[in-house]
Structure formats: C-alpha cells, structure tokens
Chains A and B, each alone.
Chain A
Amino acid sequence: MVAYRILLFGYGNHGKFIAKGLIEDGFEVQVVVDNQQHCQEAVEDGFNDSLEIDITKDEALKALHPENYAKLVCVMENEHLNVFLTLSLRSLFKECYILSISDSIHTTKKLQMAGADKVIDMYEVSAHKIHNILNRPVATRLLEEFVTRKNGIGFREYVIPENSFLHGLMTDDIDFSRFGLLLVGMIDEELGEHFTFITAGINHKLDSGDTIVCIGEKKYLDDFGDTVQKRKIGNLGRKK
C-alpha cells in the first residue's frame, strides 16, 4: 500500500475539488466514475487514467485493487449509489480505510452502518458553521480561512522524529511563537489516539512518535518541518 495513493469514486461537485487539492498536495489520485460525462470532465482536468466502471458490480470493484490504495474516498453524486458503493467496498475489502460524504441528514447513519471509517456530514458541518457565524463571525471567517489556507495561514501536523530536539521537552517549556507558530494540540502516542488541545491546560511531555499540530504561515510551517528534525537548536526553543 502506498501512503500517497487515493482511490476517488465520483467526479461531481465534491470529487473535482478533492481531486484537485490532493494533486496539489502531491497525492496520486485514481478517479473512478460511473458515467461518461464525469469521465470526460476528469480527463479534461488532467486525470487521463480515469476509469468509467459499473460500480454496482463486485468484479469491477475488485479489478481496481483498492487494497493497493491508502484511502478510498466515496463522493458519488447519487447518495443511494454512494451508500451502496461504501457497503460493497467494506464487504469486499475489510482492511481498507473508507471515507464518505453525506449529502443528506438521513444518509450519515446509513453510511456509518455501511462501514465507512469516516463520514463527513455536509449539513452537520454547515449547521455548526451557521451557529458560529451568528455568534463569532470574525473567528469563524478566520478559522475557515485557516482551514482553506486562504490568507496564507494554515494548520500542519508534525510527527516528532527520533532524536528531535523536542523529544523529552514539556509543552509548557517551549515557546512555539519563536518559530512563528502556535501549538494547537497533540496526540501523545503513549495515551492512544486522543487529540489533546493545548487549551486543556495539561503540561505534556513530548516524545518521539507523538504528533503535534501547529498553526502558522506556510513559510514558518515549512521551516519548522526542517527544524523538528534537528537534534539541537540551542536555546531558541526555551522560554527565558
């Protein structure tokens, strides 16, 4: 399995956006569609090896060898077909990571029952966003800009490598603003998959293998990607 290979089902409103973004991030995307028009659009957009198949046939799905992809993304326009596809993929490929989109409030539960590992519920996300707009308009707009990296500021996650200068330090001892960044939170490998926000007020010890999420300008995020690999960086990381 190659970590950067994604099998994308559907090339409608969602498929187009996701495929384009993944290519920009250096992923290898295989587009699979169920109609000629979407196939043609995908080819026109540069996805020359796009496949048009009958996704209701197990043989056609098996022939794609989904097990060779890191993630299977189901974003078909037809919600019934999307649920059916998710169910077929799960029954055929137990180990694969399946991500689906829900375009209807009744579909989320069905997709989860069909076996999707993660379901993005468009309406749930939007409902929360409306609430946030009404209560915190500025913060909501900025957060969206951070997520879509519109204003040059974004989030990035780093896995602390072995021998990194961060290994063994406490989160309270490091001033990330000296790198032009803010530490948002982390996953302490010893404690499992749980993401801990820095605002929870817990002083964590960082170890190699832990994942930290920072926010900042792209330039500083890139620089920190190199810095985190370093064994020592003098006193820069420590507060006075």
Chain B
Amino acid sequence: MNQTLLSFALRLHASKRYRDTKKFIRDILNNSNNPYKKYIDITIIFLIMSSVSILVYEVKHPVPEWIDIYDIYFVSFVFLIEYLLRLWVYNDVTEPVVNAYYDARFLGKEFSAFAIFKKGLKEKLRYMLTPSALIDLLAIFPAYRPVRVLRIFVLFRVLKLLRYTKSINQFTQVLSNKKFELLTLLFLLIFVVMTAGIALYVMEEKQNPNIDSLFDAFYWALVTISTVGYGDIAPVTAEGRSISVLVIVAGIAMISFATSVIVSAFSEKLSELKENRIIEQINKSKSFLLICGYGQMTKMFLREYASAYENHIILEKSIERMEQARRDGYDAINEDASRYETLKKFNTVLCNITLLCLTSNDVENIYITLNAKSISKRIKVVARVNDGTIASKFIHAGADHILMPHTVANSMIHTAITQPVMYKAIHAMLMGKSVARIDEIRAYGCKGIIGKSIESLAFKRAKVLLMGIQRDKTFIFNPAPTELVHSRDILVVMGRKISLDYFKSLYEEERD
C-alpha cells in the first residue's frame, strides 16, 4: 500500500503537465487577476440564474422536458465538476509525500506514505466542511420538484452566487469584521426573546386563545421585538401588555444597535473597499500608469495630460493629499509605493505598467524604483531626480528614464538668456507643439522603409525633417543620403502630426 502510494505520488510529482494543469486550474478558479476567470464566473452565474428561473417558472407553468434535462443533469454536472476541481486544487497531497520520502531517505528513517497522505486528505476534508464548500456541494443536487421540501436545494444554488458576486462577498466580509458585536447582539436577542416568550406563556397560556404552546410565545416575542408586529398573536392581560412594552423598547434599542454596528463596519471598510475596486478595475486594462505622489509635478502632469492617459492611478501615502487627488477627480489610493505589498497588488505579469516616481524626495523615489524592479523587471520606471549628482544611482537602481526638472528648467533659462530666438524653437519642441513635434518612427512598425536609402524616402513630400537615426546605442545625426534603414533603426524626425502620419501611411501601404 505504502509503495503504491509513494510511486503514485512520485509519478504525479515528476509530471510537469500535471503540475501545470493544476496551477492553471487553481489560477483560473481563484485568481481574480486571471483574464479568463471572468468567463468562468459569468458561465456559473448564468447556470445559477437559469436554474432558479426554471424552478420559479415551473411553479405555475409546465416546462418542456429538455429544460428539465438541462437543469437536472447539465447544471448539476457542471457544478459537480467545479466542486471536484476546487477540492483538487485546494491543496497538494502528493508533494508532502514526496518531500517526506526524501527527508526520510536522507535521515535513514522509516517512512510511511499513508500517514502523510492521510494528512493531505484531512486538509481536503477540512475544506469540504467550510461553508462555501458545503454550499457548493449542496448546490449540485437539483431541486427535486415532486417532493416539495426538496425544492429547498434551489436555495443553495442561490447561495452559490455568494462566491461569484463580489459585492455580496464584500458585504459578508465587512460584517465578519464585526463578528463579536453581532454575536453579542444575537445572544442578547435570544435572551430577550426567550425571557419574554416564557413570561408571556406563563402569564397568558390559560387566558389567551392564540397561545397554545411555548413556540407561539417565542414567535410572538420575536415578531414584537423586531417591531414587525403581525398582530396574529397579541397579549390580552395587563401583565402580558407590560411585557410587550418592555419587549418593544428592547427591540428599538437592539435595532438601533445593530444598525450602528453595520454602518460603522462599512464606514471603517469603505475606503479599503473603494481602493480594492480601483485596483481591480485598473488591473483589467492592458497598460496603465502608476503615479507615486500627488505633489505639484503630478498635478501639473495630470492637468495637462490626464485625458491622454485614461488608465492611471495615484499612490499617495498622505491621507490629506490622497483625498485632495480624489476631490480633483482622479483615482487615488492611500498606499505607500515603497512597500512591496503595495506594488504586488498590481498585475505585473499580464499588464504593461509604467511607474512614475514623482515625489519630491530623491531617497523615496530611488526606493520606489528598486521596489518596482525587484517585483518585476517589466515595470517601466520614470523617476524624478531633484539632485542631479545622484542621477547615476537611479540608473543603477534600474530606472528606465530619469526626469531632472531643475536641469531641464536651467537649460531653458540658459537658452532664453543666451539665444532668445532659439529658445522659442526649443520651447516649442519640448512642448511638442504642432509643427515642432519631434517624434520617432520605429522601422519595425513601418516595415516599408526597411532596406531603403534615406534619399529614396519621401521626407520632403511629407514635409518631415529627418534629424538622425538611432541605431543600437549610436545616434547617426543627419545621415548620408545613401544610408540604408535597418530593421531595428529608430528614425528621429520633426514635423507636424499629419506629416508624420502621412509619412508612416506611405510605407505601411507599401508593405501591404
């Protein structure tokens, strides 16, 4: 038995295909950043909704047989598969067996595969007893219509929505944070209902024809304390009415207490929920900007270009500034970008993330740069450097681009003093004004130019000025007319946007 289990575990553990499949299924079922998860969620929600609708419709109308087959067999089968897959990916049974085997062999100890295997199975059993797994299990059973009471199974299908509906999920999460307060309230409620119920039963059992049993008295107490008051059972004696007064007062107090507990739970968690929602939203986009700090630089950048960058989010560690950003109409979260956990929340695997470190503190910017690069090299970092003497440290930290506001401004002042005419030209170019737009044409994106000589390209026709070619790490200024364009070249050009677009279109068409 031991040997069979061990060889089975070893074989599974050695199979890359098995591990990859399990990882893929775990990810698609549990990772909200997985791009395919939403399709699974939508399918399950559709199955639940259709199953419930069929049962509701069937109450008064006959349904065709194929709908019954769909509901009883198909939906149940899908739910069964889902349940089994969740159970499978919950934990790994084989890995602990293999690890324990190697450890035992190393130490020369006796090894029992069955004992380790049992531990893994116990873990699975623990999962099976969790509320969400129980709901999943019970939701598999179709609501057996001929037996009325079995229709209750449809409820579990509705409850299954909890797993797939984020807002309901968040609601239960928020309430679970106030578990202590709500449990206290529940015990108090039970105590008051029992006390009032017993008292009324003792006082009115003989006089009140509507109270036949203790259950009737409890029912009356609950209906009264909840301030619903159906009126089907009402006290008839002075003692009974006195109890009613006390129960009503206690009910009002308890409802107020419950409301305040729920409201405070939400107000405490509201900001976190909002931030999670913002992060989830942005993680759905293919590329986005993360802007660190909401200072003057960020304000100016967003004032000028917020509309050009639809997907952006501000990370600001000061609450006041974060709130200011929100008041200004931007998506902002109160997080410190230099923390590993903060940047880890973003989907660095599937999204193209550009991080703008725009805080006024160089040390902080360098730390954020290192933090981002330690999480993923794919994150593009543009870092602000206030002290030009430490720019090399930013390069060393992995910043892809460096922004030195003082150096840029100083160069501009210098030019404005020394060559005022040229200042206008440079200012226009730096601002990217229409006729002075300096742009780059990547040869691989405009394949028609590859292999052609500079003199044969229609720069003049498109009214584009070729300034040079960036080839690997060399810039060839004003290349010779006979120079050929290579596939990895970047042509640095100046011209109006329409000129550049026209030039590109000439060679894109040619390629086609």
Decide whether A and B are members of one complex: yes
Using a CB–CB cutoff of 8 Å, the interface residues on chain A facing chain B are 6, 13-14, 17-18, 21-22, 25, 27, 71, 73, 75, 99, 101, 104-105, 118, 120, 122-134, 136-144, 147-148, 151, 153, 155-157, 177, 180-182, 184-185, 187, 195, 197-201, 211, 213, 215-217
Mark B272-305 against chain A: 1 for CB-CB distance below 8 A, else 0: 0000000000000000010000001101110111
From B400, B413, B423, B465, contact of A75 by CB (8 A): B413
Pair B300/A126 contact, Cβ less than 8 Å: yes
B321 cross-chain contacts in A, Cβ below 8 A: none
Chain B 401-430, CB within 8 Å of chain A: the 1/0 string? Answer: 101011111111111111101111110111
Contact B406 A197 (CB under 8 A): no
Q: Which residues of B contact A27 (CB under 8 A)?
A: 417-418
Query: A127 contacts which chain B residues (CB < 8 A)?
Result: 297, 300-301, 303-305
Chain B 463-496 interface 0/1 with A at a Cβ cutoff of 8 Å (1 = within): 1110110100001011000000000001010111
Given that A132-B432, A138-B492 are known contacts, is A104 also in contact with B421, CB under 8 Å in the complex? no
Interface check B336, CB cutoff 8 A? no
In the complex formed, the residue of A with least CB distance to B495 is A199
Can you list 22 contacts pairing A with B, beta carbon distance less than 8 Å?
Answer: A13-B406, A14-B406, A14-B409, A14-B410, A17-B414, A75-B413, A99-B416, A99-B417, A101-B409, A105-B299, A122-B409, A123-B299, A124-B300, A126-B408, A132-B432, A136-B439, A139-B438, A143-B438, A157-B421, A181-B478, A197-B436, A199-B499
B79 to chain A, nearest CB (A): 47
Extra contacts besides A27-B417, A127-B303, A128-B304 (13): CB < 8 Å: A22-B417, A125-B408, A125-B412, A126-B408, A127-B300, A133-B382, A142-B468, A155-B426, A156-B422, A157-B421, A199-B435, A199-B495, A217-B477
Q: How far is the CB of A239 from chain B (nearest CB, A)?
A: 11
> Of residues A18, A22, A197, which shows the largest number of chain B Cβ atoms within 10 Å of its Cβ?
A197
Residues from chain B with a CB closer than 8 A to the CB of A122 are: 405-406, 408-409
A148 with B411, Cβ < 8 A, contacts A126-B300, A131-B308, A157-B422 known: yes
A25: which B residues are within 8 A, CB to CB?
Answer: 414, 418
Q: Which A residues lie within 8 Å of B384 (CB)?
A: 126
**Cβ contacts under 8 Å, B406 to chain A:** 13-14, 17, 122
- Residue B113 is within 8 A (CB to CB) of chain A in the complex: no
Bound Cα distance from A215 to B465, whole angstroms: 12
Contact at A199–B436, with CB atoms within 8 Å?
yes
A133 to B424, CA, bound (A): 21
Question: B414, B432, B464: which has the most chain A beta carbons within 10 Å?
Answer: B414
Establish whether residues B478 and A216, one from each chain, have CB atoms under 8 Å apart when the complex forms.
yes
Distance (whole angstroms) from the CB of A235 to the closest CB of chain B: 17
* Min distance, Cβ A105 to any Cβ of chain B, angstroms: 5
Asked if A101 contacts B492 (CB within 8 A), the reply is: no
CB of A195 within 8 A of CB of B408, answer no
Q: Considering the chains assembled together, what is the distance between the CA atoms of A117 and B251 in angstroms?
A: 74
A131 CA to B307 CA, complexed, in Å: 12
Identify A128's interface contact among B417, B423, B431, B435, CB under 8 A: B431
Q: How far is the CB of A213 from chain B (nearest CB, A)?
A: 5
B440 an interface residue at 8 Å Cβ cutoff?
yes
- Report whether B305 and A131 are in contact in the complex, using a CB–CB cutoff of 8 Å: yes
User: 7 smallest A-B Cβ distances: which pairs?
Assistant: A122-B409, A123-B300, A17-B410, A127-B301, A201-B463, A126-B405, A199-B495
* B465→A142 contact, CB < 8 A: no
The answer for the CA separation of A6 and B356 in the assembled complex, in Å, is: 37
B440 and A138: CB pair below 8 A? yes
Q: Which residues of A contact B311 (CB under 8 A)?
A: none
In the complex formed, the residue of A with least CB distance to B401 is A133
How many whole Å from B437's CB to the nearest CB in chain A? Answer: 8
Nearest opposing residue in chain A for B464, CB measure = A199
Cα A139 to Cα B470 with chains together (Å)? 9
Q: What separation, in Å, do the CA atoms of A138 and B406 have in the docked complex?
A: 21
A105 touches B300 (CB 8 A): yes
Cα distance, A185 to B384, chains bound together (Å): 32
Taking a contact as CB atoms under 8 Å apart, the answer to whether A215 and B421 are in contact is no
Q: Give the residues in chain A near B422, CB-CB below 8 Å.
A: 155-157, 213
A133 pairs with B403, CB closer than 8 A: yes
Bound-state CA distance A142–B477 (Å) is 10
- The answer for the CA separation of A200 and B464 in the assembled complex, in Å, is 9
Measured between beta carbons, the chain B residues less than 8 angstroms from A142 are 438, 467-468, 470, 475, 492
Of B303, B401, B407, B421, most buried by chain A (CB within 10 Å of CB) is: B421
**Chain A: which residue is nearest B414 at the CB level?**
A21
Q: How far is the CA of A120 from the CA of B407 in the complex (A)?
A: 12
B430 close to A143 (CB less than 8 A): yes
Is the CB–CB distance between A199 and B301 below 8 Å? Answer: no
Within the complex, what minimum Cβ distance (angstroms) separates A42 from chain B?
16
- Complex: A201 Cα to B465 Cα, angstroms: 10
Contacts of A181 in B (CB 8 A): 478
The interface residues of chain B lying within 8 Å CB-to-CB of A156 are: 419, 422
Closest Cβ of chain A to B381, distance in Å, is 11
A99 lies within 8 A of B413 (CB): yes
Q: What separation, in Å, do the CA atoms of A75 and B478 have in the docked complex?
A: 37
In the complex, per-residue mask of B237-260: 1 if CB is within 8 Å of any chain A CB, else 0: 000000000000000000000000
Nearest Cβ on chain A to B257's Cβ, whole angstroms: 49
